[in-house]
Amino acid sequence: MLLGMNLFQGASRWLRAGLAGLAIISITITSAPSSLSAELEDELIKVPTETSVLNTGVMFRNTQGGFMESGLFARYPNDARNNFRIRTCTDMKDPLCDDATSLYYSTFLPLCSISTSFDCVEKFVARIGDGKELTATLDTIQPSPSLSPYKADASKNLVGPGQALVFTIPGAEHPGGNRYLLSVALNGATPEGAHKPGQEYGNFTPYNIQMSVDAVDYVPATKPGEFQKGRWYFYEAEQNLALQKNPFSTCAVEEDSFCMNKRAFPQDIRFQVVLRLRSSTNGWLYGRVQKPDVSITSIPGGERWDVSAAPVRIPQIWEFVPLSQMPSTFEKWKSENWEDVPGSQLQDSSTSPPSLVRIPNALNVGGVDTSIKWLNYWMPITGDKATATPGMWSIRNLGPSEMNNASNCYDSNSYKEKRVTGMVTSNAMITTAGPPLFDQKEQALIYQVAGPHFERDGKTLFRGTYDLIMRKDVARCLYKFTDAPIKASISVVSANGEEIVETEQIAERNDASGEWITLGKYGFTFSSPKLKVRLTQEKSAETKNSAAAAQSGAVVKPKIQPSKKSIVCVKGKVQKIVTGAKPKCPTGFRTR
């Protein structure tokens, strides 16, 4: 079934690149999923899509986003119903787009054609364990170009169009072969509201980048209509654009002739992605990876990003219960919580009248509190276990709405070099919608995570991961540090307030891109712990001596600086001012 979907309304959450945290979807289905074979990969477990009045349930699902199609879009003021309006354009001078207030693009970066290319992928490789680098080679099967092509314009910084890249990596075999999908999605826009009909559009500025890697298989279509490539379609009657695509497709790549499903990553694999970018997206990075190594350096004409990390497994939950077996508090709980969160385009038939399926994730409900509230209500009902824990390798920059509550010290514009200031990653189902929050009272960076206690067998504890990387400039800004070495400790604070502190460690790392602070915590359990990082710094020798003397009662004499004076020296019409403890005029000059 193909559905017309407005990308910027409820259904957008099925398609756009992953938001911070999770998507939680309350849904009703005709029957619960059948028992799953232990050998079935979590990546292949299907999400139910049918609804009925008999069952109700919940879906906590981290969305990495469906496979998108490149396009250049014209942005119009919202219509009378406050709906976001767009249409595709063929270039920046398309007469159909002349009446828009701004343009934006969404595309994928290609491989660099030459060593001086920009907005491209310079390198993509894998490593298994501590082994050698495994070369990735472009596969003979690739996604076809977007059905809404547009003309790039380097003079305006308009990138694209492009599509995701499929590679083969011999030596990195997974259950579906050795194909891997690398998607480096980039979005940019002209200044919003600045354009008037008949005028030339301004330059594009990139505002979002997302890198993702998926292990994929290849399934050819066996009958017409089995698969279908996504298509942008403009509805004249509504004067709006929609992506025609099956919202329940599980294909990482879907073409008319084939589907590429996500498969499980091999054990102990790491991926390295190197990009050459003309413009920095700045800000803070958010990852679904572990043990990342990030280097961002200036190069003539732009930036070079070198990122390597291992994938993580993210818990997902879709569990369903007959209404007759729900707690007696359910109707009251539903009446108090249903309308607090946005809805999708999927209808929930268990409500009277029918309502939309709810999607309260940490971003679109303003934080993690609502997500945790839903988690705490549903876990006793569904068994406090994951339905699946598929693998994910994804890194993106946080958007403005996700940085609303962040310290000004995280803002790239606060520094001379306006580059990425840090990165946070976790495998938790729910995470803070933004970077770690700086608690002035505790002098600590706090990051909230949450999820089920157990894997899908209901017995094995799910173990959490947390990585924090940030520039030393950020630490100096937050803590008013000097250039002395920085130490750190990480503690895990459980939901009941118990705190387990890790041994203090040196947290600095020097590399070609500058000085960074790198920390990691692994192996903690859930349901809703907080990760607390405290940074400290040894006092300088002079400060230590002063403090010791003060403690002993000794009088600390201030260091007296010699007084200085200035004289004016002249030679003909030339005058010079000489300053010092005992200033003297140069040879040939005399004191005035």
Non-local CB neighbours of 376 within 8 Å, separated by 6+ positions: 527, 528
User: Helix, strand, or coil here: 472?
Assistant: helix
User: Helix, strand, or coil here: 388?
Assistant: strand
* Bridge partners (DSSP) listed for residue 322: 55
Residue indicated by tokens 């380097």: 154
Strands (E), 174-257: 179-189, 205-216, 219-220, 231-235, 240-245, 251-254
pTM recorded for the entire structure: 0.83
**Cα angle vertex 510, ends 509, 514, to 5°?**
120
Beta strands 530-537 and 508-511, pairing class: unpaired
Task: Residue 326: count other Cβ atoms within 10 Å of its Cβ.
Answer: 17
User: What whole-number distance in Å separates Cα of residue 541 and Cα of residue 489?
Assistant: 23
Q: Exposure string (b/e) for 345-355, b if CB count within 10 Å is 16 or more?
A: bbebbbbeeeb
Residue 268: phi and psi, rounded to 5, are 60, 35
Q: Exposure string (b/e) for 470-487, b if CB count within 10 Å is 16 or more?
A: bbbbbbbbbbebeeeebb
| Tens-binned pLDDT, residue by residue, of the chain (592 aa) | 333 333 333 333 333 333 333 445 444 333 333 333 346 799 998 877 666 677 777 778 766 545 578 999 999 887 777 777 889 999 999 999 999 999 999 999 999 999 999 999 999 999 998 888 999 999 999 999 999 999 999 999 999 899 999 999 999 999 999 999 999 999 999 998 888 899 999 999 998 999 999 999 999 999 998 998 988 888 777 777 777 777 777 899 999 999 999 999 999 999 999 999 998 777 899 999 999 999 888 899 999 999 999 999 999 988 878 888 889 998 898 889 877 776 655 566 666 666 666 666 665 566 788 889 989 998 999 899 999 999 999 999 988 878 878 888 888 776 666 678 899 999 999 998 889 999 999 999 999 999 999 999 999 999 999 999 988 888 888 998 887 778 888 889 988 877 776 655 555 654 444 478 888 899 999 989 999 999 888 765 444 554 455 455 555 444 444 555 667 676 665 566 666 667 777 776 677 7
Return the HEC string of 308-365: EEEEEECCEEEEEEEHHHCCCCHHHHHHHHHHHCCEEEEEECCCCCCEEEECCCCCCC
| 122 Rama sector, left if φ>0, alpha if ψ -120 to 50, beta otherwise | alpha
User: What whole-number distance in Å separates Cα of residue 264 and Cα of residue 134?
Assistant: 18
User: What whole-number distance in Å separates Cα of residue 167 and Cα of residue 455?
Assistant: 31
Q: Could you give the C-alpha distances from 18 to 11, 269, 363, 402, 484, in angstroms and in order?
A: 13, 22, 10, 12, 38
User: What whole-number distance in Å separates Cα of residue 165 and Cα of residue 108?
Assistant: 9
- pLDDT at position 357, please? 61
Residue indicated by tokens 């849904």: 27
Residues 71, 15 contacting (CB under 8 angstroms): no
* Residue 19 identity: L
Non-local CB neighbours of 570 within 8 Å, separated by 6+ positions: 576, 589, 590, 592
Task: Residue 495: count other Cβ atoms within 10 Å of its Cβ.
Answer: 13
Non-local CB neighbours of 436 within 8 Å, separated by 6+ positions: 424, 445, 446, 447, 468, 531, 533
Residues 547, 332 contacting (CB under 8 angstroms): no
Task: Residue 77: count other Cβ atoms within 10 Å of its Cβ.
Answer: 10
Residues 195, 101 contacting (CB under 8 angstroms): yes
Residue 145 CA, chain-centre distance (Å), reads 26
| 8 Rama sector, left if φ>0, alpha if ψ -120 to 50, beta otherwise | alpha
**How far does the chain reach from its first CA to its final CA, in angstroms?**
95
